[in-house]
Structures are given as structure tokens and as C-alpha cells.
Amino acid sequence: METPRHTVPRHTWLDKTTAVVWVIFCFELGVFLLVFPWLDYWENSFFSNLGFLGQGWEKIWDSPWFRGAVSGIGVVNLFISVVEVFRLRRFAPPPERSPEPVEE
């Protein structure tokens, strides 16, 4: 009885392109979330002026703790992008194996 050979999954160009776009998206979102809370634009953004959330919203929005939490989410996104870059190796062709010598 012959054992089945390991089949190598075939990846299409769409799989590869989607993976690269995901890495770029995570990286850009991470950089944005890491930097934007500490810029002057943060205090004048759309979300800082949401009146229906109450008066306490502006205090929370301008709090360094909240800004740090948003920056922390940015760090997580940067970490995801780095991990996904290393996972791109799954699209590389497997290394060629040399045939095993047959003993007679």
C-alpha cells in the first residue's frame, strides 16, 4: 500500500495580493492610530465634538489615558502587520527535496 504524497496548496495571485494589501492596511492603520491622538488635529476632529454623548465625552476624549489606549491599539496593528509579513512565506514554493537513494 502506497502512502499518499503531501499535496502543496496552490495559491492564486488573488490570495497573494490580498495578503499584501492586508499587511499594508494593518501597517498604515497602526501608524495612524499610534501618531494621530498626539497631534493638534485630535482635539478638532469629528468625534471630539459629538454633543449627544454628554459633557463628559470631551474630558474622556482629551484624556491622556484615552489617547494612550488608542495608541496602544495602533501598536497592536503594527505587531499584526509584522507577523503577517513573516507569514507571507507561506506563498513561497516549497524547497526542492533531493531524491532519496534506493538501496538494492
Mean pLDDT, to the nearest integer, of 7-32?
A: 87
In tens, the pLDDT along 30-73 reads 999 999 999 988 887 777 777 666 677 788 888 999 999 999 99
Closest CA to 76 of 19, 32, 41: 32
Please tell me the pTM assigned to this model: 0.73
Closest CA to 68 of 36, 27, 26: 36
Task: Report the C-alpha gap between 25 and 7 in whole angstroms.
Answer: 31
* Inter-residue long-range contacts of 60-66, CB under 8 Å, 24+ positions, other chains counted: 66/37
Task: Report the C-alpha gap between 32 and 47 in whole angstroms.
Answer: 16
